[in-house]
């Protein structure tokens, strides 16, 4: 009887989570999340407020950012939820994973979001905006969190057991490839060389995360950044569509190496359970079949953009497009909430074998 009740609660939780995602209605389901904690690393695709505390221009301070988010502008570079917000809801968390910058004490045990807008795998990415937390600095912040978890739980063994049950997601590389549009950088590195250079650093960073106790790690691949309104606009002033294809082809070289790294880690790191979430396949599929997903505008942004400091961000306090569910991009770089809902659902529960390798997030947390 008890098993039946527990299973019924779990089924109800999943049904209500999907209802919440589709309708935007806030529903609280008082059941345990599928993992005890969720730690998030990444750039502006996941940043939910960390850059607000940094001396940088790369921050979403005002409306129209957050126009469809219950708390208004929070630092999220979209109109509503980010992809990791969607994932956290599907995992059954009562609230979104909070930013590292504002989280203290026992709240750390449920996980934090280290994401920093404009950051990258390379330390030099995003520095033109001021200080941003690249992946190396995010890992330094996580090391501090791990030490606090040890202190809270009383010893390293308890901390290791707790952290080993958590979900970790890492989504880096988009800004590294937007930086590859710089002719000077392309003259320094052929596409294969650039992918190898990034992978050399990325593999060390992910090994560091493993050394801090991470075992269930979802690596979000780089999407087809050539389709972003920013890249399309920049490419139109250069070599047109061949520029878009160059950028997307370069990204695929990197993603192939990440997928190979997942195999290597799972084979050679004891207890490792890494998986690759194929953002490129998912977003390319939506872009090519946009009308079937309800999108009508794919190459321009929902908001009017200001080009100060090459941010191509939304103009502060201006009114964005009315039908935001018809747009794939909110500003020149970042997806709308409607797009994030599609990505997050496929990350959590793959609809195609190409969406995730070797498992989706739902499968990963069950390992």
Alpha helices in the chain (DSSP H): 2-23, 83-90, 135-153, 156-164, 174-179, 183-188, 191-211, 229-236, 241-268, 279-288, 337-348, 361-366
44 is catalytic: yes
CA angle 243, 249, 250 (to 5 degrees): 90
Neighbouring-strand partners of residue 219 = 170, 276
Side-chain half-sphere of 53: how many Cα atoms within 13 Å?
13
Here the tokens at position 194 are 């650039």
Q: Cα–Cα distance between 301 and 235 in angstroms, integer?
A: 16
**Other CB atoms closer than 10 Å to residue 131's CB: what's the count?**
16
CB atoms closer than 10 angstroms to residue 70: 10
Total Cβ atoms within 10 A of residue 182? 10
13, 17, 44, 88: the active-site residue: 44
DSSP string, 275-339: EEE-HHHHHHHHHHTGGGGT--B-SS-SS-EE-GGG--EEPTT----S-GGGBSBSSSS-B-HHH
Chain position carrying tokens 């630092």: 75
Which listed residue (43, 47, 68, 331) is catalytic? 331
* Catalytic member of 100, 142, 281, 334: 334
Q: Distance of CA 208 to CAs 135, 165, 270, Å?
A: 11, 17, 14
| Dist. CA 50–CA 116, nearest whole Å | 6
Among this protein's residues, is 26 annotated catalytic?
no
Residue 142 appears among annotated catalytic residues: no
- Is it true that the peptide bond before 239 is cis, omega within 30 degrees of 0? no
Catalytic residues: 44, 331, 334
């Amino acid at each position: 009887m008890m098993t039946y009740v527990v299973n019924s609660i779990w089924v109800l939780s999943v049904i209500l989570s999907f209802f919440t995602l589709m309708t935007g209605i806030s529903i609280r389901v008082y059941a345990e999340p599928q993992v005890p904690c969720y730690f998030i690393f990444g750039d502006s695709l996941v940043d939910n407020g960390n850059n607000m505390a940094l001396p940088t221009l790369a921050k979403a301070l005002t409306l129209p950012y957050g126009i469809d988010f219950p708390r208004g502008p929070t630092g999220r570079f979209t109109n509503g939820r980010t992809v990791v917000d969607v994932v956290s809801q599907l995992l059954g968390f009562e609230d979104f994973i909070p930013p590292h910058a504002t989280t203290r004490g026992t709240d750390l045990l449920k996980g934090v979001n280290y994401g920093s807008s404009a950051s990258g795998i390379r330390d030099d990415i995003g520095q033109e905006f001021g200080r941003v937390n690249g992946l190396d600095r995010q890992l330094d912040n996580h090391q501090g969190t791990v030490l606090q978890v040890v202190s809270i739980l009383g010893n390293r063994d308890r901390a290791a057991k707790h952290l080993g049950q958590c979900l970790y997601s890492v989504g880096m590389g988009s800004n590294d490839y937007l930086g590859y549009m710089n002719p000077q950088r392309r003259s320094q590195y052929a596409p294969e060389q650039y992918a190898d250079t990034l992978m050399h650093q990325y593999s060390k960073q992910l090994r560091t995360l493993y050394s801090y106790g991470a075992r269930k790690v979802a690596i979000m691949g780089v999407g087809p950044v050539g389709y972003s309104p920013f890249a399309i606009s920049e490419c139109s002033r250069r070599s047109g569509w061949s520029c878009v294809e160059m950028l997307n082809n370069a990204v695929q070289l990197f993603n192939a190496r990440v997928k190979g790294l997942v195999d290597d880690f799972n084979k050679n790191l004891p207890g490792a359970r890494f998986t690759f979430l194929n953002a490129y396949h998912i977003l390319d599929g939506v872009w090519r079949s946009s009308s079937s997903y309800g999108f009508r505008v794919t190459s321009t942004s929902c908001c009017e953009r200001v080009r100060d400091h090459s941010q191509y961000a939304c103009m502060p306090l201006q009114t964005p497009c009315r039908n935001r569910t018809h747009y794939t991009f909110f500003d020149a770089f970042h997806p709308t909430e409607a797009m994030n809902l599609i990505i997050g659902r496929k990350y959590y529960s793959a609809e195609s074998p190409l969406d995730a390798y070797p498992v989706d997030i739902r499968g990963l947390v069950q390992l």
